[in-house]
Amino acid sequence: MRPLAKGLLILIISAGTSFSQISVLKPAFGTHGMVSTSDSIATAVGVQILKEGGNAVDAAVAVGFTLAVTYPQAGNLGGGGYYIIHLKDGKNYAIDARETAPAAASRNMYLDAAGNVIPGKSLIGGLSVGVPGNVDGLLTAEKRFGKLPIEKVMEPAIELAQKGFIVDGRLQEVFHHAEKELKRFHSTMKYFSRNGEIYRQGERLVQKDLANVLLKIEKGGRDGFYKGEIAEMIAKEDQATGGVITVKDVEGYHAVVKEPLMVTYHGYEVMSMPPSSSGGVCLAEMLNILEHFDLRKYGYGASQTLHYEIEAMRHAFADRDKYLGDLSFVSVPMKRLLSKAYADTIAREIDPFSATPSIDIYPELIHPPHEGTHTTHYSIIDNEGNAVSVTTTLNSYFGSMVVVNGGGFFLNNEMDDFSAKPGTPNQFGAIGAEANSIQPGKRMLSSMTPTMVLKDGKPFLILGSPGGTTIINAVLEVILNVIDFHMPLARAEMAPRIHHQWVPDVVYYEPGALVYDVKQSLISRGYRLVPREAIGEVQTILVTPSGYEGVADPRGPGDAEGY
């Protein structure tokens, strides 16, 4: 089913195929549970855990550890993530497992003597690494909300690391694109090459040292990773490749359980991450703005609909870059940014017929852009109505490109998500202000947007996406497609997307997103249009009266499976 769907997508977006033809892509269906992830092996593991009596949290933790084995480009032990959890009793939780800056980090650590950002210094090598948080996030979720023994939950990942799995074409492709950078580090080549050549499709990737790390976590819990031998390995490898992380930094890391951010939209409750993620705030602000306009009347893909969507995106991303940062370090005007009154003010100022130049919003922050890439997301629900939405990342593909010697896992390059110099863009083009400047112990701002839409207090839509700054808009557009345009789930996922993030002041669009007349209308309104291959990779579950529908976005390699 997956190869057919991917081939169909290429046909659709290149030929502008009508929505009536998209229905060939069928959602997975289940009455007892549903798992949608970026990796078919991880999806199968999640379903297995559900079938063996685990709840959605058990399945999510099993998927998370499995992705660290089978999806090394983004699944991880050496990165961070965010978790949105809804329990059957109606209680909701958010877990912030975002990485932190090491104690020796400083606001000018990526600047030269003239005060200019040194290209690449925050992207590759040890100095780009934040203190890993994802393992503590997984263990916190399992300890507080799971019901199976940790040995049962981690067993599939350990077995996959010990016995290996076959490298597929997609993993070979990402290895190939990163090969030059991967070859810079001895420890990386030690684990991900054979006879000096990066692993290729059809070869079995066995990861014995990674299996041993997983066994230490299984037996020792948090201390098995954040204290002793593994903590020492992380600090040693980071410092050997130019970093400043110490054992004390690793030992001091803790994930934080928070209240999710909530906003209403057309009678639904939309629940997402608060800062240190920017995703929830931006999503809420955009939905609050768009609630003022009758998008359904204009229709999906109409120039007027797109005009309002773009303007909502523009304003939310401007506020993101000006105000948002780690709430433990900066004062963010959360109440104002999330208020309906603030959105009403913005909506009233939007010209119905003309684009708002980005330079008119916070002109002091405008700066030329930069580009970047990838994370991974998974959505899960069980037969009792427990649901989990998780986005986790190393930041770029393979993060810093550094693998921990003796551990076999990649370290992140999340320090690039700080504002190395306020007003200067990171790899995703996000520029940031003083609120996201580098400080020791601080969590860097993120675009990850694990989200649930609730109807009458129960899960209706569970979703999230990889894709850097495009994450937020990809999630937004699937929500709009389901709620405003009443699309079936497969259509909502496959519908071509657009993206605007304030700076650069351009509208990115997927093939097939803009028909000729719409394109001309947007140009006449003052928009600059730039084609882009794909925007996001949303993993979605829809709760229906008859059961659960799941779709893994065919823009990526994922899979959805129910039972």
Sequence ranges of the domains in the chain? 36-257+374-392+400-418, 259-372+449-537
d(CA 236, CA 552): 38
Model pLDDT, residue 115: 87
70 a catalytic residue: no
35 three-state secondary structure: strand
Angle at 475 between CA 470 and CA 479, to 5 degrees: 145
Model pLDDT, residue 425: 56
> How many Å is the maximal CA-CA distance in the chain?
64
Structure tokens at 375: 């994370």
Q: What CATH fold (topology level) applies to the domain 259-372+449-537?
A: Serum Albumin; Chain A, Domain 1 (1.10.246)
H/E element, 491: helix 489-494
**Helix axis angle, 40-51 relative to 56-70, nearest 10°?**
150
Angle at 450 between CA 136 and CA 549, to 5 degrees: 120
Model pLDDT, residue 424: 58
Mark out the alpha helices in 205-293 (DSSP H runs).
Answer: 208-220, 222-226, 229-240, 247-251, 279-290
d(CA 74, CA 557): 13
d(CA 5, CA 120): 37
Model pLDDT, residue 26: 84
What are residue 189's phi and psi, to 5 degrees?
-65, -30
Model pLDDT, residue 60: 98
d(CA 58, CA 54): 5
Q: Out of 37, 375, 449, 451, pick the active-site residue.
A: 375
Structure tokens at 212: 């041993």
Angle at 396 between CA 68 and CA 28, to 5 degrees: 55
411 three-state secondary structure: strand
Model pLDDT, residue 302: 98
Beta strands of 386-446 (E only): which ranges? Answer: 387-393
Q: Residues in the chain with pLDDT < 70?
A: 1-24, 366-373, 421-433
pTM: 0.93
Model pLDDT, residue 336: 98
H/E element, 298: helix 295-298
Model pLDDT, residue 363: 87
169 three-state secondary structure: helix
Model pLDDT, residue 116: 87
d(CA 515, CA 522): 11
Do residues 493 and 9 make contact, with C-beta atoms less than 8 angstroms apart? no
- Cβ-count burial of 418 within 10 angstroms (0-12 exposed, 13-18 middle, 19+ buried)? buried
Q: pLDDT by residue (tens digit) across 133-162? A: 999 999 999 999 999 999 999 999 999 999
